[in-house]
Chain A
């Protein structure tokens, strides 16, 4: 039993949610409580297993792409004639993402407790979504990766489209079409890469090792990049994001910002960097520039928003810009900062969206100017929100500070002027965060909301783990940094060696 779990831990983490989803489907329609608890159990099990995974992960031995650096490998042929494998494993790049995903999903189930319509369908789709997300982070076969990548689309489409806000249909199809454009380009690259190698293979480690056989390198790079850039989302492919976020139900916004956006940068690091290192290296300046644009543009847009959720959505665009800037620096600090920022932003933005959901559940609107003086009415809520916004603006002592500082430190070595421009983003961010806090929580109490109830036990339970992480990682980021250091070091060396 234990041996089986140890041997198949990644498969279990990936497919337990799907199993839970099938169980949910089999439950009777009226048993809403049973459905919710089943979903909670089957999202918590991967969290437990992820903790085991964390314990067993040897971060010193973690490398990149070389067979030895990947741990907890499971590998067997799937379609033998076409050399398609079921090949999963984790290294220092995917490990933080698996942990993040495992952590956020149960919290989302908690946040979805108040959903009343179509409970069964909702939880089935959510569990399917978790399988898709986990699969993307652990898959090391390009074909398998693509399947998981696309499998996420369907539940996401329905989750936004059925349980979303007033313009849900528009938002859902926009999300679907945007992402599909990106992924069909990726599919062409996958097939091209498969045919270019001899023997034909979809194995990502193999493709990285033999990347010299690939022709049309710049075209391939751009085809992959556009697919991932849409997901991040990078300017100018970002327009689906505010729509999707505003219309999606709370838990889905959390997943979208907390995990899905990271897949874009994860994909660039895992695939563009390793398969086409020379092109990546030559486009470093472009990457850094587009990252900077994202930081400034996202922050300015956020400042202009009247809707609290839209503000958080644009702040995500801004924060993902740091990730791209850090990635483009090709320094160890920058890369580590970028991946740490992916993790930290996942935690912070999840908190922010949960908090927006809390206020929306009570007031049924999200107008920033429609509140006022809430700190007096709901002190606990105000405390957690202040913490989250302070983390978002990068207050020293909270987690985002470390990652943003690392990113800027690394980027400054490579791009002095761009980094100086990007650093002004920190000020704009502080501006909109503080201004929002002031408008919502300070000032005169809005009489309409004088009797607003404070955080419930369930809401507290979904927020506390994240709040603890925000503080702990702010003082002691080592546990996460250790995971990725050696992998990112070898990835960086790989790219630097290419040119």
Chain B
């Protein structure tokens, strides 16, 4: 499809890009004033919400994939549903930023912050829709650079600086490795387009050391984005140092986008159903399965001794990337459905947990677990917060009747369906669930089982407070509802399967 025709399929992206430009222009003429409430957050949220509406309304015919802009981008089911996830996480990012003390108050650079958030979301959307090696790299860099900036945006203490520098250095290396892998792939096949690369791999029976190096380097870059073992080392420090709202966002948005691209690359480029892939695929199935098992085990074991809620959630999100990799390892179309389903419920429960962390840190100025002691006994707001946190954490652990359990069932279905070769992975996964329960339950124990009530009661008076409580109620309600009746989400996840021709 040529450039002009393609435009109507990228309405959400175009709209976001225009919003960024518009916001930049407007901010030039508006002087920041200390006493005027911050208008940029609502504007940014509105822009993302509008893009979400556009995205949902462009769902018309996702069953037929279309190549856009002469094959640079691709409009298909996988891209659509993951873009919805990116937009929702972008909206919640700004809402969380509004709720968190460190980013809401005394904050005069809000316009840059909001612009970066919008650009980041745009980068994710281009990343998941890319159909060409160059576009993939550009999307990823747009996403990464804005992430580095946002990590260090609030100059809180030396941990923030450490986080931002560490993220930048790790990220630069990872993207360097990745682009080297991509260039090797170009050298091997002489093409930048996914489908052309695939057909060239098939027709020329490409194999050998060069090919293996190219694939591993590409996996390294993507593994960094999703924080899979052994490329996960940056994430605890970054999560701890970054503004909490941004840590929350990092754990879902870019991770989901990374998974979408991982699926795209593995299925569309080194995909199933072709001869060359028959050998290559056997390889990557096992590689991904091993990565999955290692990632979840390392994440869960490392989370056990954590005493800082953000570090704990960081390791927990590494473990969850490991769980989600199970779906990719299955190499089946059902696996794609399961991966999306898992990310959708993971977004709900993980963001709920982070939102509680934000509210608690607003009230008690602490991110240590000790700050949660007796939370459940501090009046009605405390009981609500602690219950919401409990539901989120038990859902993360995969206990019914919460949505996280259904997500786990989907992943196990995908893996066990694959046959005896991957049964071991299912066993590793469920044993990991038991390990994870131990550290999730520790927070619950702090909140409810300990009755030493420390610190003042919680107040619910300000607008920010009621906003975060309302959002928390919605996230929690959805976590329970989707655990009991998840047919609608399953239908949506089914769309993700329609991306191969």
Contact = CB atoms under 8 A, between A and B. Distances in A.
A177 B412 CA distance: 20
Interface string B410-451: 001100110000000011001101100110010001001110
A57 interface: no
B448 A187 contact: no
A192 B416 contact: yes
Interface stretch (A7-15, A168-176, A348-356, A426-434): A168-176
A180 B437 contact: yes
Given A151-B400, A173-B438, A188-B412, A79 B431 contact: no
Interface in A395-433: none
A390 interface: no
Interface string B484-500: 01110010000000000
Contact of B430 (A147, A168, A187): A187
A80 B433 CA distance: 27
* SS class, residues of chain A in contact with chain B: helix
A181 interface: yes
B373 to A, nearest CB: 12
Interface string A162-196: 10000011001100110011001101100110110
B449 A162 contact: yes
Contacts of A158: 448-449
B434 A161 contact: no
Interface residues of A, number: 32
Contacts of B430: 184-185, 187-188
A188 B400 contact: no
A162 B394 CA distance: 17
Nearest to A29: B380
A154 B430 CA distance: 18
A130 B91 CA distance: 40
A185 B433 CA distance: 11
A273 B422 CA distance: 28
B401 interface: yes
B11 interface: no
Contacts of B400: 146-147, 150-151
A195 B416 contact: yes
Given A191-B413, A191-B416, A195-B413, A168 B449 contact: yes
Given A147-B400, A150-B399, A187 B449 contact: no
Interface in B460-490: 485-487, 490
A177 B399 contact: no
Contacts of B399: 150, 153-154, 180
Nearest to A77: B487
Contacts of B417: 195
Nearest to A160: B449
A151 B391 CA distance: 12
Given A154-B394, A169-B449, A177 B438 contact: yes
Interface in B382-424: 394, 399-401, 405, 409, 412-413, 416-417
A81 interface: yes
B437 A177 contact: yes
A80 B491 CA distance: 11
Contacts of A172: 445, 449
Contacts of A192: 416
Contacts of A80: 487
B401 A180 contact: no
A173 B397 CA distance: 14
B172 to A, nearest CB: 40
A99 B460 CA distance: 46
A176 to B, nearest CB: 7
Contacts of B394: 154
A82 B412 CA distance: 14
Contacts of A185: 430
A184 B448 contact: no
Nearest to B391: A154
Interface in A180-215: 180-181, 184-185, 187-188, 191-192, 194-195
Contacts of B441: 157, 173, 176
Given A161-B445, A162-B449, A173-B445, A180 B416 contact: no
Contacts of A168: 449
A187 B490 CA distance: 20
A169 B413 contact: no
B149 to A, nearest CB: 42
Contacts of B431: 181, 184
A173 B435 CA distance: 12
Nearest to B426: A188
Contacts of A146: 400
Contacts of A118: 377
A148 to B, nearest CB: 9
A195 B414 CA distance: 10
A177 B445 CA distance: 14
* Most chain A CB within a 10 A radius of its CB, from B399, B400, B427, B445: B400
Contacts of A173: 438, 441, 445
Interface string A114-127: 00001000000000
Nearest to A153: B399
Contact of A79 (B413, B416, B450, B486): B486
Given A79-B486, A173-B445, A184 B434 contact: yes
Nearest to A186: B430
A439 B109 CA distance: 77
A151 B401 CA distance: 7
Contact of B449 (A147, A153, A161, A177): A161
Given A176-B437, A180-B433, A81 B449 contact: no
Given A185-B430, A188-B426, A195-B413, A147 B401 contact: yes
Contacts of B413: 191, 194-195
Contacts of B409: 187, 191
A264 B431 CA distance: 21
A187 B412 contact: yes
Contacts of B401: 147, 150-151
Nearest to B483: A147
B416 A188 contact: yes
Most buried by A among B449, B485, B486: B449
Contacts of B433: 180, 184
A118 B405 CA distance: 29
Nearest to A190: B409
A60 B400 CA distance: 37
Nearest to A192: B416
B9 to A, nearest CB: 29
Contact of A169 (B445, B485, B486, B487): B445
A146 B399 CA distance: 10
Contacts of B377: 118
A79 B485 contact: yes
A151 B399 CA distance: 8
A77 to B, nearest CB: 10
Contacts of A79: 485-487, 490
Contacts of A187: 409, 412, 430
B427 A180 contact: no
Interface string B20-56: 0000000000000000000000000000000000000
A181 B438 contact: no
Interface string B357-398: 000000000000000000001000000000000000010000
Nearest to B419: A195
Interface string A130-150: 000000000000000011001
A17 to B, nearest CB: 15
Contacts of A150: 399-401, 405
B423 to A, nearest CB: 8
A469 to B, nearest CB: 33
A82 B441 CA distance: 31
A234 to B, nearest CB: 19
Given A79-B486, A180-B433, 6 more contacts: A81-B490, A146-B400, A153-B399, A181-B434, A187-B430, A188-B427
Top 4 A-B pairs ranked by shortest CB distance? Answer: A184-B430, A161-B449, A150-B400, A147-B400
5 contacts: A79-B485, A118-B377, A161-B449, A173-B438, A176-B437
